Amino acid sequence: MNQEQPREPTRIFITGACDGLDELSAALSEHPEVEVVGRQEHVANAAGALAGGHLGAILHRTRRPSLPTDELAAIREHTRTEIVLLASGEASALLEEALDADVADVLLLPQLTENVVFAARKAAHTGRRAPTGTSREHGRVITVFSPKGGTGKTVTATNLATALVKHSGKRTLLLDLDLQFGDAAIMLAIEPDRTIQDLMAAPGELDSEKLTGYTLRHTSGVDVLPAPIRPEDAELVTEPKLARLLEVARESYDMIVVDTSPFFHGPMLATLDRTDELLLVCGLEVPTIKNVRLSLQTLELLSFPPNRIRVILNRANSNVGLKRSEVEAALETKISFELPSDRAVPLSVNRGQPTVLAEPGSDFARAIKEMASAISKPHGERASARRRWIPSLAKA
């Protein structure tokens, strides 16, 4: 039996200064998964060490409540190594500004050693994947999720992907990650001869050319990577392979629309970690509202940024005794988009055509097109989907 090889420790360098890191630095020095190769408060005094090209990540400490752009610029004069920013105290402004900054992660001190190690190793891994000399700008991952079946999640995902191509001119991939019972292909009248499972099982390194060979082109111009045909094949789509798939897709497309299963399992968590915008589909039924509220609480526990979450109220015009204001009060959040109940939707589903193509003048199609237009516009909240903001233990 082959024994698993021990993981090579990530080499990190610590710069800057802030309160609360002395004990953490000592703990990091003893941790087997990282190697602290140096520590220097002033970046100018660490120029030689930073320029060596041998580092996996830099932990930069700051006392400032907002983004230390000059400190980051000083580091960037010597190295392109990924930076994990460490701060203490109140730093909500820093978190907001960091969304667009050239940093891999932000952690608020005091912090568990394991959280810092995780952030450093993750930053190092991402840095190795980044193509040399290319822009950091990538396509955006739009994840469509609902914690309950029957809410219209797949209808929303397929129509949104189609609208992004037809009305916003975006190169779009529709990725079906409802791995056991995905319906994206059937809703587009596609009979897949290859699926995500075939891509995962194919030998060799996954790159853009290989991804293209396994996607299917819909007549609308959307590229589709269907879910496995057999439910038992879902386990072949592992989290590391899925993470690599999303990285490659971001290099190849403007938009990646991900249809998901109604569970917070491994693939969903891997997807969330790379999601730029999460569309949470809710309906006008009390059980659905309850599950959506639990999902919002779960996302908070996962430290998923709330400004990346948009709630969609589906069948919003249904007369079932609940109003939008009541749903917002129950969820303690605002509804971002409303999709109407429309007879055109089940008709187009049964024909295997997206409603935005089959019935472009319908109320549902117009609502989808407005949503696609809003999502496709660049805004200040665009960020690298690989970042995970880890709050201070003092607030946990």
**Complete DSSP assignment for 264-285:** --HHHHHHHTT-SEEEEEE-SS
**Per-residue pLDDT, 137:** 54
Positive or negative CA dihedral for 177, 333, 336, 340?
positive
The answer to whether 271 and 308 have CB atoms below 8 angstroms apart is no
Q: Please give the Cα distance from 93 to 86 (Å, whole number).
A: 14
What is the rounded distance in angstroms from the CA atom of residue 15 to the CA atom of residue 41?
Answer: 5
Question: Full-prediction pTM beyond 0.85?
Answer: no
**Residue 110 CA: distances (Å) to CA of 60, 86, 206, 392:** 14, 9, 38, 6
Q: Indicate the SS3 state at residue 60.
A: strand
Handedness of CA 297, 299, 300, 305 (dihedral sign): negative
End-to-end CA distance of the chain: 42
178 vs 51, more confident? 178
At 41, the amino acid letter reads: E
Residue 217 binned pLDDT confidence (cut-offs 50, 70, 90): very high
d(CA 116, CA 111): 7
- pLDDT digits over 290-331, tens only? 999 999 999 888 878 888 999 999 999 998 889 999 999 999
- pLDDT tens digits along 269-290: 888 888 999 999 999 999 999 9
Return the DSSP state at 172: E
Q: What is the pLDDT of residue 380?
A: 44
By the 8 A CB rule, do 284 and 318 touch?
Answer: yes
Distance of CA 38 to the CA centre of its chain: 32
Question: For residue 372, what are its two tokens?
Answer: 């696609």
Confidence of residue 71 (pLDDT cuts 50, 70, 90): confident
Two tokens, residue 226? 């269907």
State the pLDDT at residue 331.
94
Asked if 261 and 179 touch (Cβ cutoff 8 Å), the reply is: yes
For residues 276 and 385, the answer to whether their CB atoms sit within 8 Å is: yes
Evaluate whether 337 touches 375 at the Cβ level (below 8 Å). no
pLDDT per residue as tens digits for the range 135-161: 345 789 999 999 988 889 999 999 999
- Contacts of residue 8, defined as CB under 8 A and 6 or more positions apart, other chains included, come to none
Q: Could you tell me what percent of the chain has a pLDDT over 70?
A: 84
At position 180, the amino acid (one-letter code) is Q
Q: Helix, strand, or coil here: 91?
A: coil
d(CA 288, CA 85): 38
Copy the structure tokens of residue 197. Answer: 């499972």
Are the C-beta atoms of 279 and 312 separated by less than 8 Å? Answer: yes
Mean pLDDT (whole number) for 188-214 = 88
Burial of 124 (0-12, 13-18, 19+ CB in 10 A): buried
